[in-house]
Amino acid sequence: MKPIDLFSIHTCSNRHQAQSEALKGPKWKPPTSSFISRVAASLDSLLFSFFLLRLPPSLIVPSSSPFSSTCSDPPTSSPGTQVGKMADQCALRVMRELRQFAQSDDLAIDISYKEDNTRELKALIIGPPDTPYAQGFYQFLIRIPPEYPEKPPIVTLQTTNNGRTRFGPNLYASGKVCLSILGTWPGESNEQWSPVLGLETVLRSIQSLLAAKPYNLEPGFENKDDKDNSELYNAKIHHENIRLTVLVPLEKAFEIKIPQLNMRLGQGSHRGANPYQLDSGVPEAPFHPFLDTYKRRFLWYLESYKMAIQRGLDNKKARARRSFPLMPFECADNIMGGYWDYEDMKKRLGSLEMRIMKETNEWPDQGKDKDQKGHPLAASLRAQCQQITRQLTQRTEGMVLLELVNDNPFLWRLIYHGRPMTQYDGGVLKIKIFISPNHPAEQPRVILETPLYHVRVSPQNVLIYLPLRADEMSRHVDGIISSLEEDRPPVNPLMTVNPEASALCWGSKEEQRQYSRKLRRSVAATLE
């Protein structure tokens, strides 16, 4: 996909171009400038009025408002008209940027909003690999002021442990995000907000704060050679990244009781407060916009979480129940306080794995009830399966089959016969597609019945794939097949579901040969 140009604020109309082409001809004479001005003004007014009809009400200035204006309003310098023009500009800009985000295939950033209020957005940023924030889930609330893009958006971090945990020098426990382009931190003139910047720039800048060495992001510590403190700071962020951004939100979603630990006073204490308590402070944001994303990514990154916890258990400086050390710049109520407790986190991770798999296995039964009651979703899924089955039979000459398991439209089985002269030659893969009764709000979960050593298959046999459209099951089936047939998929750390296989697949020539041998052995085992 081509890079998204969020900086361009110029738009064009195909309708204008078509009308210009229609005017061309050997006998055509250029119209007068006044005629062109009248036509352009009429077209602009008509197009803008049509655009406003498609906008959510929250972005339209009511006609009864003293600040309302239209493209055909006569020029005026009254404050009301200027505010109306700003609101129009804000509406156009936000809608255009949201459309561009919808077309993006970036796995690190997601945006959610209600259609009746696109001035209040929620963003999810996945912690970058090779940082203490790796595969963590960080939510932000973005409020768009009416003066946008003349003024920057207002951004608040909502992953704060109820206002108790500071996740970095620039990410305060209060939710404040210190960033010069947001106007929350002083900077050079070339680091300030400009109308040419946009939401993508803001989110990329925030993403850069989830750095490999956050200790050096503190002002005055940029060039400080303090290896011990830097490593300790990374270690406690690594701990809380898994506990607070992965475990706690999912435990809340499943209504699992969260452990309450008694915090001793002393180093790392929060003035006697318990950072593990979640019953006071700044309230966390409603979790639901990204709930399905959290669950799916949990299954993707489960092996990475297990490895991260094991590294914590092996770290002698992170002995169980010892308080986190305070950094020189942590003070008052803006700290990351807590205990090391990887043993407890290991148990909680295992409990969540079982709970999500239990939910997945419950979907077919819940869907069967809908099917018996004649629910439209059940009928639609059955019809889609029949159509896709016919298409696959024709397209693959019977090498790929699709069927309903126990005649249940919410549980599909894809049978993939390995093509000759490929890495799957002679093998037969059986893959279950679990479809939620809330589809497409919840996306299917795909699990192999026959274990496969593959860069896109987790050790728990969960297949990772990317459908071109989330609401069409045919796109999901295509995505599954494409993911399996990628011989050497491009390196993408955010799609690493099997760290060992990924290291071999993207490693040296010898490691790649080792990967191929392991893959072939697992394919041969499908016939046993």
Q: Residue 150: count other Cβ atoms within 10 Å of its Cβ.
A: 13
Closest CA to 245 of 323, 177, 345: 345
116 contact partners, CB below 8 Å, separation of at least 6:
56, 57, 58
Q: Cβ distance 148 to 130 under 8 Å?
A: no
181 contact partners, CB below 8 Å, separation of at least 6:
152, 187, 191, 192, 193, 197, 201, 202, 205
Q: Cβ distance 209 to 371 under 8 Å?
A: no
SS (HEC) of 416-464: EECCCCCCCCCCEEEEEEECCCCCCCCCCEEEECCCCCCCCECCCCEEC
Q: Residue 397: count other Cβ atoms within 10 Å of its Cβ.
A: 10
**Distance (Å, rounded) from C-alpha 447 to C-alpha 302?**
14
Q: In this structure, what are the phi and psi dihedrals at residue 268, rounded to the nearest 5 degrees?
A: 85, -5
Helix orientation angle between 342-372 and 376-396, rounded to the nearest 10 degrees? 100
Helix orientation angle between 473-485 and 376-396, rounded to the nearest 10 degrees? 40
Q: Cβ distance 198 to 97 under 8 Å?
A: yes
**DSSP-assigned beta bridge partners for residue 143:** 120, 154
**Catalytic choice (178, 331, 385, 505):** 178
Q: Residue 51: count other Cβ atoms within 10 Å of its Cβ.
A: 14
**Distance (Å, rounded) from C-alpha 492 to C-alpha 502?**
10
Dihedral angle of Cα 358, 359, 363, 365, to the nearest 10 degrees = 50
Closest CA to 244 of 336, 174, 311, 317: 336
Helix (H), strand (E) counts: the chain: 12, 8
Q: Cβ distance 290 to 124 under 8 Å?
A: yes
Is 178 in the active site? yes
Q: Cβ distance 277 to 248 under 8 Å?
A: no
DSSP 100-142: HHHH---SSEEEEEETTEEEEEEEEEEPPTTSTTTT-EEEEEE
Instruction: Return the active site residues.
Output: 178
